[in-house]
Chain A
Amino acid sequence: MARALINVPAKAAKGEIIEIKTLISHPMETGFRVTFNGTLIPRDIINTFRVTYNGVEIFAAELSSAMAANPFITFTTLATESGTLEFHWAGDNGFSVTETATLVVE
């Protein structure tokens, strides 16, 4: 099970722009590397990353082999209402991880 770290402020004022940082452990094997005996190491990467805020998509990304191992992505969003942020990573070999974070908006 891949470990994901998410940094969302616990509290925010209404209308405030908050920064969200995400990090997930994943080798992001490019599919372009070869072993000592010349066989190609098959690709194993995270393809998509999606974030919903109370069910509404606020950020999405399509990743490629050019992303570093352990993808780290930060983005911003407007704190509109208290609720749940859901983070979903999906990739090769059936990789799928979902994490949630709660945000209190005052």
Chain B
Amino acid sequence: MHTSRRKLLAGSAGLAAAGLMKLTLAPAQATPASMTVAMQKILQGAKPTPGRVTIDLPPLVENGGTVPMGISVESPMTATDYVKAIHVFNEKNPQPQVISMTLGPRAGRAQITTRIRLADTQNIVAIAQMSDGSFYSGEAFVIVTIAACLEDLP
């Protein structure tokens, strides 16, 4: 069969368009609303008090694939008054959860560091669950110039 150059070009353009279509079928983003839903699973209707939780994140991130994050919670960390858990949420990654950590009075200090992925410029929220059942929250705003999740897309 003879295929003209014009037809071939038209066909390949169609293929490329189909490829683009597939790529735009990216997973649904987490939204501030879905973050609230995820947070409510932990809070069970309780309202976190802003404060006592400090999120240490660089304000401007060049590579969203590896973002160093530190979290510290003000607490005496005694047998009767300690941080039970720290939950971290994001607004715009494909999923609202980042990490949930269980601590105890034996931690000595409620202080952790890790490295996370950020898909976009967004707010990060950390909720600390105290031993008396109260919740405290901290927030950090991060500007991301190169997002995670996109690095391997053509």
Contact = CB atoms under 8 A, between A and B. Distances in A.
B106 A73 contact: no
Which of A37, A70, A78 has the most chain B CB within a 10 Å cutoff? A78
A38 interface: yes
Contact of A58 (B23, B66, B95, B104): B104
A4 to B, nearest CB: 15
Nearest to A39: B22
A106 B87 CA distance: 34
A62 B97 CA distance: 10
A35 to B, nearest CB: 8
A33 interface: yes
Interface in A62-85: 62-78, 80
Interface string A31-59: 01110111000000000000001001111
Given A58-B104, A75-B103, A80-B106, A68 B149 contact: no
Contacts, number: 111
B69 to A, nearest CB: 9
Q: How large is the interface on A (under 10, 10 to 19, 20 to 34, 35 or more residues)?
A: 20 to 34
Contact of B22 (A30, A32, A38, A59): A38
Contacts of B101: 59-62, 75
A64 B100 CA distance: 9
A65 B106 CA distance: 28
B149 to A, nearest CB: 6
Interface stretch (B3-11, B112-120, B129-137): B112-120
B112 A30 contact: no
Interface string B3-29: 000000000000000010011011100
B98 A64 contact: yes
13 contacts: A17-B108, A34-B153, A38-B25, A56-B106, A57-B104, A59-B103, A62-B97, A68-B115, A69-B65, A70-B115, A74-B114, A76-B109, A77-B106
